Amino acid sequence: MDINDNSLIITKVMRQLLTLEFPVDNTMQVFIFPINANQFDYSTTVDELLNSVADFALSRKTKEYLAKTGGMKLSKEARTKFKDWKQNTGELGEFLLFCFLEGHLRAPKILSKLELKTSSEMYVHGADGLHYLKLPNDNYQLIFGESKLHKPITKGLREAFKSISEFKNSVNSKGEEKSGISFERSLMSSNLDRETFSEEEKAFLSSIIYPSRGENSFNVDDAFGIFIGYEVDFENERKCLKNDDFREHVETSIKETIEKQKGNIANYIDEFDLHGHTFYIYVLPFSKLDDTRKIILKELLS
């Protein structure tokens, strides 16, 4: 299955600021929005990512069918799959996670969960994304997504690892059962017809979702993709620094903040007993997170 060209745009419109690697085989990629006149340029980013909304929200078959009937129908159908942007706090993170997993990691989407919603007010539980990745050794990873947007980055990271632990164990913090990995595998398997165009594709994805060591020539491990949006405040610097000085200050400050999180991540993996899984973490700072989230969603869906 190929990566859509639209997915690659996020690596061109956003600047990759930092890559951190930490044991075992985990990475954190830090991106920032383009900066224009001492402010994050959200509008340019939104304009470039508009075409990815349909790729995120719709299945491959639905997208192909609607594309034949006209671009307006395709765009309208994609927007209806989002909850009301004023109420929803999660789907922006899920959308950006999709863009990074496909566009940067090159991990194709397996299933569009938003298309399973029966109305724009229905919330889809479980993983925030379902992808797979072929590794250099010809083995595969089944990647489950988790996205969090919180003002403090430490809260976002901890909540993400906590959610992953509950998801892995199919139980919430109160000890109550919740949908987990087994449910997501079943969901993917029962909806493959939405995403595949041949029996060969369907058989291939089935072998990743439910790997059989005796039949496959490859191994499959569960991994996790994480998107963290957090808030930064550079209002004072915005008003008094030259453009180049402002960019340098922003980048230096963000790098210092991120470097401090390596120990926290190791602690969270320990605390929630998540050793053995690979984590692909994507971090993106926002100014005025709550207001900006609403503005971006509104522009994406207008």
Number of H helices, E strands in the chain: 13, 8
Report the distance separating Cα 166 and Cα 172, nearest Å: 5
Domain count of the fold of the chain: 1
Averaged pLDDT for residues 220-248 = 94
Please give the C-alpha separations between residue 271 and each of 158, 165, 291, in angstroms, as whole numbers. 10, 10, 33
Report the distance separating Cα 218 and Cα 280, nearest Å: 21
pLDDT category of residue 263 using cuts at 50, 70 and 90? very high
What average pLDDT does the chain have? 88
**Helix 261-271 × helix 153-169 angle, to 10°:** 20
Does residue 174 surpass a pLDDT of 80? Answer: no
pLDDT category of residue 122 using cuts at 50, 70 and 90? very low
Report the distance separating Cα 119 and Cα 294, nearest Å: 20
4, 54 contact by CB (below 8 A) = no
Query: Please, which residues bridge with residue 22 across strands?
Result: 26
Which alpha helices (DSSP H) does the chain contain, by range? 10-13, 42-49, 52-57, 60-69, 71-80, 91-103, 153-169, 181-190, 199-209, 235-240, 243-259, 261-271, 289-301
pLDDT in tens, 143-157: 999 999 999 999 999
Range of the domain at 209: 5-301
Range of lowest pLDDT (8-22, 42-56, 80-94, 203-217): 80-94
Most confident listed range (28-42, 53-67, 116-130, 212-226):
28-42
